[in-house]
Structure 1
Amino acid sequence: METYYSPSKEDRNLAKLSCGPLENELKSCNSNSLDIQINGSHNKLKIPFQALSFLAQILKITSRGLSFSLVTTPSEIGVFEACNILGCSEAFLNELLAEGKIPFTKVGKHIRIKFDDLISYHHEMKKIQKQSLIDLINSKGN
């Protein structure tokens, strides 16, 4: 599922007013959820901290007048999807899996990779690449 959103001027103004207070509440939060009460309602909603952090990011984007899309992803993906995300060949991904660098499960003959595990590996590799470039630049300067 993919949802596109392009904020109106009124939405931008409301987002500007809401973003700062929400970020402040999140900074002072000592829980993994917050209770929210909507004006005119007697019900309190218990919202996960991560969802509210995401909402704060959405408000920041909206306040700048930027359009964005929200895309859902399955919790597990197959080899083809994983290769597309990493930008690698199936053979290279199979090496990573065989070396235990990315956890996976097998369902019959099919390999399933948790999306979060794949993204964690991807971020870790980007961090290592960045540090390698910094080290290379620093070594050239000496």
Structure 2
Amino acid sequence: MNTKESPGLPTDAEVSLAKESSRLLSLYLSTQEESQSIRVIDQAGEHEAVRIPTAAFRLLIDVLSEMAQGNAVSMIPVHAELTTQEAADMLNVSRPHLIKFLDSGVIPFHKVGTHRRVRYLHLVDYKAKVDSERLAALEELSAQAQELNMGYY
């Protein structure tokens, strides 16, 4: 896994192809089956049927959909271990700020030699918790503003 190399934005031609590909593939997605069969054709015209897990097929459609919107896409395995800089980048915080979270026990980590490593799964759990708390606080503030007739709807 290489999370340091960020993918470039798709070109206009790739965006157009991704739009068409995701649309066509989604027509064939069968959620009733454990696997999907696709036919791969090489440049010589040779073709072969390939069976892939439905989850992978769905992921391919999701990647193409993101590309169709002009977004760069990268994949990180759930059990991946990130450096503190990679983890900080994912949370959009500074590395020293992330280290405070780690040292205070807010986000679990372990050390490899003298270097801290954060599991991607722990980072996603933390982000989901913070996002949920943030949404609850916003809903409470909105309710208070409505009760006080502050003109917010």
Q: What TM-score results when the alignment is normalised by the length of structure 1? A: 0.69
1:20 aligned onto 2:27: yes
- Listed as ranges, the gaps of 5+ residues in structure 1 are none
Aligned to 1:132: 137
Shift of 1:17: 2.6
Aligned to 1:102: 107
Shift of 1:134: 0.8
Mapped to 2, the partners of 1:21 and 1:44 lie a distance apart of 14
Higher share in strand: 1
Mapped to 2, the partners of 1:9 and 1:86 lie a distance apart of 31
Q: Classify 1:90/1:36 alpha carbon distance in 2 versus 1 (closer, same or farther; 3 Å).
A: same
Mapped to 1, the partners of 2:132 and 2:83 lie a distance apart of 24
Amino acid at match of 2:81: E
Shift of 1:124: 2.0
Mapped to 1, the partners of 2:128 and 2:15 lie a distance apart of 34
CA offset digits 1:12-52 (Å, max 9, x no partner): 44432322331xx13x34x4xx14242642x5434361x22
Runs in 1 of length 4+ with deviation above 6 angstroms? none
Q: Classify 1:140/1:17 alpha carbon distance in 2 versus 1 (closer, same or farther; 3 Å).
A: same
SS at 1:68 equivalent: coil
Q: Percent identity?
A: 20
Shift of 1:59: 4.0
Mapped to 2, the partners of 1:72 and 1:14 lie a distance apart of 19
Mapped to 2, the partners of 1:89 and 1:14 lie a distance apart of 38
Number of residue pairs aligned between Structure 1 and Structure 2: 132
Aligned to 1:38: 39
The two structures, once aligned, show a CA RMSD in angstroms of 2.9
SS at 2:73 equivalent: strand
SS at 1:55 equivalent: helix
Aligned to 1:87: 92
Q: Which has the higher contact order (CA 8 A, sep 6+)?
A: 1
Mapped to 2, the partners of 1:35 and 1:57 lie a distance apart of 15
Mapped to 2, the partners of 1:35 and 1:140 lie a distance apart of 51
Q: Classify 1:91/1:58 alpha carbon distance in 2 versus 1 (closer, same or farther; 3 Å).
A: closer
